[in-house]
Structure 1
Amino acid sequence: MASYHLSVKVGAKGKAAAHAEYIEREGEYKLKNKEKLEAVEHGNMPEWAQDNPNLFWQCADEFERKNGSTYREIEIALPRELTPQQRKELVQTFVEQELGEKHAYTWAIHTPKASIEGGEQPHAHIMYSERLQDGIERSPDQFFKRYNSKNPERGGCQKSNTAKTAEQRKTELVELRERFADLQNAYLEEYGHADRVDHRSLADQGIERIPEKHLGWKGSQNQEFKGLVLEYREATQTFQTHIDYLPKHLASLDQEQQREKPKPLTNEQKQEIVNQKIEEAKETTAEYKALFEKYRTQYIENTTKSELKEYQKQGADIRTKIEELDKNKPMFFGKKDWEEKRENLVREYREIHHLHDHTKTEKKTQRLYDQRFGREAVIKHIEKNHPELNQKYAKSQEFLKALEQLRQQQKQQERAQQKEKPKDKGFDMER
């Protein structure tokens, strides 16, 4: 049965590249187990990112303003009834309809399978830049600068979502949800399926029953939690307001959960919770590793600069000694000792110069490839300056490790059961 889901999220500076890898299942996020990456597509990239779309998101993280957003993401559920090719065409049509030719984008369709009932759970992640391309060629660093209305060629690309009130954003989101529902129903009708979806709430449709909510990490015991979060996200789309709002509602829901006796969960609901926690653990891991690589690169740069500065100081001291020696060059007596002393200084200077060049090129490259270099220092830095993320990452790793151990145990049990099954000996036929 076709179901409806559409939500919009905002990506903060420093998260775009890791999130692009995550939805494309690249790098650390290559597909495992039974999860399927159905399709990936990029579009409207500036010339400098045509051959490497991920470079665009890396530059967004690097050059976007400190408190600016690097991307927006539309997450949509796709109908099981449609084939993979039909779902791909649906996403392509939706992207063309909503983003046109001015927003750089990357989208991917994921098709995980529920382990309980085995059905597909197709959905798409559509991340796009809010910056509107106006035909002016800009370098990566200029592309993400502040827009210059008087002289557009001197500034960056203009953002499409600025100077809007919360009410305007809410209205636009409702209209977006309606357009996607209409498009999804058009595809279902075109390919001969009777099911239809409706973007409206059950109350707005005049249906008197409790809506079935998608469970979140905090909502496993309270079916109304996810609804509150979704209603809030539809009402406001600014990142900071989102962060300020959620803790208050989480606290109030915790109090409600303590007063209410939780209802037993079905197997399908339990699997929903596990799948949600896996997604959250992967996102936390992506955020942590992106921050780790950023700090490790800075650590290598600072260490290398410090060593180069010391070599430069040593070289300058030796040059001063050589210059002083040249001023006091003897004509006859002591000339041999003078030449020997000068030769030793020149040799020492060349060694320092060699060490300087080696550190600047080969040694720095070796450090970048050596994942152990700077690891402990960077881990301590994150523990001190990002304690919440560090704690979330540790819990995510414990969860993923326990999950992997459970999977291995299940595989061992399955192999043991296969061995215990009696083999079919067959029968002989007389010639």
Structure 2
Amino acid sequence: MAIYHFSVKTVARSAGRSATAAIAYRAGEKIYCEREGKEHDYSRKTGVEHKEIYLPEGAPKHLKNREKLWNEVEQRETRKNSTVAREFEIAFPSELNQEQRLAMLEELCCNIVDRHQVAVDACIHAPHTESGSDGRNYHAHILMSTRKLTPEGFTDKTRELDQRHSGEVEHWREHFADICNMHLDMAGSTARVDHRSYKDQENGLEATLHEGPKVTQLRRQGIETEISRSNDEIKQRNQAQLQYGKNMDMLIAENEIKLRKLKTEQQIQIKHSAKTPPIDEKAVFEEKQRETLVQLLKGEISAKDANLDLDFMQHHLEKVEHTLSKQQKHKNEFNQQLAQEIVKSGLKQSHDKLQSLVDQHNELGQNKPLLFGKKAWEAQRDALYQEHKQLKSQHEQQKKNGVKELLKNDKFREHAWKQYQKQHPVKAEQYQNLHRSYRVIKKHVDEIKAEQQMKLRQEQQLKAQQHAPKMKSRGMSR
């Protein structure tokens, strides 16, 4: 089993901390804090494998600058004990390579941005093996704003992550485990992680104690402490328990092989006998649900007549979302490559034109008139210079932002989609079909949920009416 680690921390002024200092250390950069009036310099820090900022759609573009982003976060908080940032610290399964780690980080960060509409700044740290760190200890610090980020700037606090009853932290712990397992599966690894505690898993393993930076530093120096000694003993006991579990798994596997053999023999006997084998009701139900779903997607029946099971629909919705996400990524990569080719071609043309203008300007300089036509010559030379200056500015702008602007352009997206259909007809058709299926299933899931919520409210109202105290009628006094 791969190692699972997901912790939630806060950066609070009450603890003497700042968001600018926190991100400077995690990104290994030099950040000037406007609120504190001092510079946090961690530019000599090594081991930062990757760093990237993720913002909600429509967020101010200047916040893609790390220093500007976290200074604005600090300035938005006015209280002296404010919590200025929140951090998810995650560990990557050692079975994944760098490319797979980046894909996993991007998926998690984009999901955080979509769910909470906050700014996210993520940094992957590689292990310092030269100082005694475990060579598998690739981890990431995901720092996020505590306020929502809109096109107008930072607004409301995201209180749901501070409230235990909201279940948000548990949601992200479980979601991160799902992401780990999905990427392990895509990488062809059989290893899996579990976000639950050893106690909840009921696997007989013991949890280790948190060592902290001081104990970790002493451990690297070869100095034992009570905590490190206790943790080593726990790890040895856990290893023994896992080995015992493996032996038990082997026995179970052997029994399962024998059981499958017996079932095969039984099926052969049933096949050659007059008796009808027992019906698997669950399999029949699922098959019927699948057939009904196909009819719904083809438009042969209405959502009301389908009467599909919510769990079944949600399971299929998740499968479609996952596949659609991969198809969307392939389409986005195609668009990116096409935009780069178009911009490259345009830059080549403008470069040739610039060189032509330079040649004309030089040739004109060699043929300067001595007396007559001097004014016309100066005007022509100035016109060439101005044309070169304007074209040079356009060339630099296109070089810097050409691809981004193209990707935002509706006409380019239409053109890119037509090209995608020509070059990848099968994938384009799959994408369209998946998109249609997703809309139908999503709509149906929402309708089922809304109907269930309405029934629940009606039941609650009915119960409330039944338990309401009845008013006693008063008779007339004599």
Which bracket does the TM-score occupy, shorter chain normalised? 0.3 to 0.5
- Name the larger-Rg structure: 2
- Which structure has greater helix proportion? 2
Please give the TM-score of this superposition, normalised by the length of structure 2. Answer: 0.41
